[in-house]
Structure 1
Amino acid sequence: MNVMKNQHDELVPMRIQNRWRVCIDYRKLNQATREDHFPLPFIHQVLEKLAKKSHYYFLDGFFGYMQIHIAPEDQHKTTFTCLFGTFAYSRMPFGLCNAPSTLQHCMISIFSDLLQDCMEVFMDDFM
């Protein structure tokens, strides 16, 4: 990871990408998917709670989406073809319409004992 200065002299961490990244258009699948309406927190509310604390830290749950398994009977729905062959995801890729709410629901279930008391969760970010 590199740290770069922006136009306001703020230091911004930048990830170095030196590998292939797959980008798949799931618009048709998303249109056919019944949406999960699990509520996502508003980031400004999370930050307001943090502002009242004397100490805090941020952790990025890198590859958070990829920790959630797709049911075997649904994996074929994520199939894509590229130069190297035809593949289907066995874990939840970024881009599915229910991915954010599924991840948020999972994180809240895992950390329910710590939430509000000493921890906040915003999708794959832990504060």
Structure 2
Amino acid sequence: MASPVIFVKRKNGSLRMCIDYQKLNDMTVKNVYPLPRSNDLIEKLQGAKIFSKFNLKWGYNLVRIKEGDEWETAFKTCYGLFKYLVMPFGLTNTVTTLV
């Protein structure tokens, strides 16, 4: 099964490739544990002396997809069939993998 690709025009006129993982996400077993609320996290930081700031957007490209599961990210273009080796945007459960 390969997911379809669409191209969306950006404000500057360039094109952005988007992969529609809706069918894959519908078949994926969702993680059942809740993410912590931001207010609760901020409360826990009271009195802390060290703070960190990071951008989760860059974290996606650092998480390797489990060997053997790469085929699940397959997408098809007019140039052929491709798959991700690192975690792409748009998959169910990816946020909980990063947090």
Please classify the TM superposition score into its range, dividing by the shorter chain length.
Answer: 0.5 to 0.7
Gaps of at least 5 residues in structure 2 are 1-11
Give the alignment of 1:50-89 within 5 angstroms.
Answer: 50=45, 52-53=47-48, 56-82=51-77, 84-89=79-84
RMSD: 2.9
- The 8 Å contact of residues 78 and 89 in structure 1, kept in 2 or not, is answered as yes
Partner secondary structure for residue 81 of structure 2: strand
Question: 1:91, 1:57 → 2: CA distance?
Answer: 24
Is structure 2 residue 42 aligned with structure 1 residue 47? Answer: yes
Identity %: 37
Question: 2:64, 2:97 → 1: CA distance?
Answer: 11
1:51-108 per-residue CA deviation (whole Å, 9 max, x = no partner) reads 554664423255212211112321111111235543100111111111011222xxxx
Which has the higher relative contact order, 1 or 2, with Cα contacts under 8 A spaced 6 or more apart? 2
What is the letter of the counterpart of residue 30 of structure 2? Answer: E
Question: 1:80, 1:28 → 2: CA distance?
Answer: 12
Question: 1:54, 1:98 → 2: CA distance?
Answer: 32
Question: 2:50, 2:70 → 1: CA distance?
Answer: 42
- The 8 Å contact of residues 56 and 98 in structure 2, kept in 1 or not, is answered as no
> Quick one: which of 81, 88, 92 aligns to 1:93?
88
TM-score by length of 1: 0.54
Change (3 A) 1:72 1:21: farther
- Residue in 1 that maps onto 2:21: 26
Change (3 A) 1:99 1:46: same
- The 8 Å contact of residues 67 and 92 in structure 1, kept in 2 or not, is answered as yes
